[in-house]
Amino acid sequence: MKNIAVIGAGTMGNGIAHTFAQFGYKVNLIDVSQENLDKGIATITKNLDRMVKKEKISEEDKSKTLDSISTYTTIEEGVKTVDLVVEAATENEDLKLKIFKQLDEACSEDTILASNTSSISITKIASVTKRPEKVIGMHFMNPVPIMKLVEIIRGYTTSDEITNKIMELSKKLKKTPTEVNDYPGFVANRILMPMINEAIETLYNGVAGVEEIDTVMKLGMAHPMGPLQLADFIGLDVCHSILEVMYNGFKNPKYAPCPLLVNMVQAGKLGVKSGEGFYDYSESRKAEKVSAQFQ
């Protein structure tokens, strides 16, 4: 496999495209608008510049990586000659099912179809295609170029051959692939999201404040980032969506999103992406922090 298509130029999509291109793969990055694609390429360029500055790669490596990425605004054009498609669109079941129907029609019959979904059933995604044995989950972690884990999710009919190919491909990206079965939330989010949700419940119930909760988990449990700060970085809307998938999948109230999380999402307080979540990421707040350093 040398030709890869990535659907979606957002945080996960551009990170996946960056990673494949950096390891010598030809990548077609696909999104609905050129504006989104331009933002994705700008992010990749900024991340590569950071790697050059840290002397992890050379300027030549950076140029080769960027030259390996082509952009497309239509699925049909972008997937014609690829060996693998990795879908990294918004965590919305209806959208993913629609995309996989399109991919099944547009791709060669030999093309493997993977989803970066963090919670949605691979078996259900595969069911809208005529190649369910060639549909698999590749759940990368954010930030993709840095994080080593890839959750490899087998759908009910995913073949051994395809699973082995994707496991080996992940190793070629210097990742550690871990095979899991297809249940809501898989492993990573089945454990992580209830913890984040419980941290939000703890705040909601007035047990402690945001920074206090995060401090306990960072200093007491050796977590590199507190659960509320992590939720902000993931996106509170994404956390809410994953919890809903698990709640609907298991019918267990322990996965029900905390009312505070629901309200924050409805109010548009989504974390880093919106400038405010449990913490304030606005430009004015950044200016205040800089000013405070000089007082």
Q: Which residues are catalytic?
A: 118, 139, 151, 189
User: Of the candidates 115, 87, 91, which has an alpha carbon nearest to the alpha carbon of residue 6?
Assistant: 87
Q: 9 a known binding residue? A: yes
Q: 8 a known binding residue? A: yes
Q: 142 a known binding residue? A: yes
Q: 39 a known binding residue? A: no
User: Of the candidates 207, 204, 210, 248, which has an alpha carbon nearest to the alpha carbon of residue 232?
Assistant: 210
Q: 271 a known binding residue? A: no
Q: 105 a known binding residue? A: no
What length does the chain have? 295
Q: List the structure tokens of 44.
A: 């990749």
Helix (H, G, I), strand (E, B) or coil at 85: strand
CA pair distance 252, 208, nearest whole angstrom: 26
Q: 267 a known binding residue? A: no
Query: What are residue 232's phi and psi, to 5 degrees?
Result: -60, -40
Q: 206 a known binding residue? A: no
CA pair distance 3, 83, nearest whole angstrom: 6
Q: 78 a known binding residue? A: no
Q: Tell me which residue has tokens 């902000």.
A: 232
Binding annotation for NAD(+): 8-13, 31, 91, 96, 118, 142, 273
Binding annotation: 8-13, 31, 91, 96, 118, 142, 273
